Each structure stands twice: as structure tokens, then as C-alpha cells.
Amino acid sequence: MNINTTKQHLLELENTFKEQEDTLTELDRAIGDGDHGVNMLRGFENLKDKVDDSSMKNLFKSTGMTLMSNIGGASGPLYGFSFVKMAEVVSDDIDHDNLVTLLETFTEAIAKRGKVELNEKTMYDVVARTFEAVKADEKVNLERLQSFADETIDMVATKGRASYYKEASKGYMDPGAQSMVYVLNALIGDER
Ligand code: ADP
Ligand code: MG
């Protein structure tokens, strides 16, 4: 995937998060504070004015910086830091091998920054499962990404605000897992 397509996919997330704002708000209202929809939209709304497309590396770095300073909440630093880390390993043209490297970096960045493991009912569950699937040469389309987010419904949250709900967090999808579906769908691009 070249820089123009990658940039287009990232900028299109503004529309995606406009469409999904209410859904994400509802999810975060159930097991959080109801701001995840507005947080994600604020991050991607700002991207068109802040994006630096002088190189693929700068595209990822400027996306990370924009997300870090505009999303807010717990998810802003997680997404922001991840894009800044991915900027260090991204190629000028993202092929399958580079996508695997990007997803590995994304997964490690969330794990490190969030001190999170698998099955703690967070965005990490989606990125880690996507990394494993793409590494195994499996096609990961939107439907498959959604199935990874759906897996968080039965989990008990042990990280972030949702962890205050303990057992009562069961039965609700994690909002960050849902937003991660769209972010990964944009990154995976041609590979789906
Ligand atoms: P806040 O919880 O501060 O209101 P958001 O609502 O924007 O922030 O984001 C909540 C999402 O952030 C959760 O649904 C979860 O996926 C993710 N999250 C929170 N804490 C962690 C963590 N320690 N590790 C990974 N993801 C986390
Ligand atoms: Mg919230």
C-alpha cells in the first residue's frame, strides 16, 4: 500500500468515526464514561489539518502526534504512542511483510503502554489477534476484525475504567476494541 492510499485510508477514518460516534458512545456509557465516540472523532477530525505526507514515516508520526494530543482519555496515548512507534518501522510501500511488522509493533506498543495482556477486555485483544492472524497469512477483513472485537463481550474487564465494573462488565463489548476494528481496517488496506 503506497503513501497516497494509506493517507486516504487514515483520513477516511474521520467519516467512519462520525458514523460510529453514537455506537462507541453507547458502548462506553455501559462500562465507562461515555466519551469514547467523541474522543475518537476528535482525534481523526484533526488529522486533515495536521497530517504530514512528506514520507510514510512522517505520515505515521504526524498521525500519532495528532491522536496523542486530540483523542484524550486512556485511548489517546495508546493510539498515539502506537503510531509513533510504527513510524520507526514502516516502509515507503507497505507490503505483507511490513504489515506484519507494523502489527507486531502496534501490539507491543499497546502492551507496553497499557501494561495489558490478552483477554483483559481492551483494544489489545483485537490488535493482538489481528497480528497473529495476518502473520499466519490469514485474510483479515472487516468481518473478521469485528469477530475479534465481539470476543470481548464475554470477558471481564481488568484494565481501564471498565475494570471498576468487575463482573458486571461482562455482556458488553469493549469500546476500544470496537474503535480498533476501524483503525486496523484502514491499516490492513489491500491485504484484506
Ligand atoms: P477513558 O477510559 O479514559 O474514558 P476512552 O473511553 O477514550 O478513555 O477509551 C477507553 C478504551 O481504552 C477502553 O475501551 C479500552 O479498550 C482502552 N484501554 C483503557 N485502558 C487500557 C489499558 N491499560 N490497556 C489497553 N487498553 C486500554
Ligand atoms: Mg471513556
Cell of 152: 470481548
Mean pLDDT of 168-176: 97
Please, which residues have CB within 8 angstroms of residue 95's CB and are 6 or more apart in sequence? none
Please, which residues have CB within 8 angstroms of residue 97's CB and are 6 or more apart in sequence? none
Please, which residues have CB within 8 angstroms of residue 154's CB and are 6 or more apart in sequence? 170, 171
Report the nearest atom of ligand 1 relative to the CA of 160.
20
Q: Which ligand is nearest to the CA of 179?
A: 1
How far is the centre of ligand 2, averaged over its atoms, from the C-alpha of 34 (Å)?
5
Tell whether the model's pLDDT for residue 191 goes beyond 80. Answer: no
Cβ(162)–Cβ(169) below 8 Å: yes
Report the nearest atom of ligand 1 relative to the CA of 35.
6
Mean pLDDT of the chain: 97
Question: How far separated are the first and last CA of the chain, in Å rounded?
Answer: 12
Which runs of consecutive H residues, i.e. helices, occur in the chain?
Answer: 3-31, 36-45, 47-50, 56-70, 75-87, 96-114, 123-135, 142-150, 175-188
Q: Which residues of 74-92 are buried (b: 16+ CB within 10 A; e: fewer)?
A: bbbbbbbbbbbbbbeebee
How far is the centre of ligand 1, averaged over its atoms, from the C-alpha of 104 (Å)?
20
Q: How many alpha carbons fall within 13 Å on the CB side of residue 146?
A: 3
How far is the centre of ligand 1, averaged over its atoms, from the C-alpha of 122 (Å)?
7
Q: What is the pLDDT of residues 127-156, one digit of tens each?
A: 999 999 999 999 999 999 999 999 999 999
CA triple 51-6-90, angle to 5 deg: 90
Q: Which ligand is nearest to the CA of 176?
A: 1
Q: Which ligand is nearest to the CA of 72?
A: 1
How far is the centre of ligand 2, averaged over its atoms, from the C-alpha of 32 (Å)?
5
Pocket around ligand 1 at a 6 A CB cut-off? 28, 32-33, 35-36, 39, 73-75, 78, 110, 114-116, 122-124, 159-161, 174-177
Report the nearest atom of ligand 1 relative to the CA of 116.
24
Cell of 165: 465494573
Cβ(103)–Cβ(96) below 8 Å: no
How far is the centre of ligand 2, averaged over its atoms, from the C-alpha of 126 (Å)?
18
Q: What is the pLDDT of residues 56-105, one digit of tens each?
A: 999 999 999 999 999 999 999 999 999 999 999 999 999 999 999 999 99
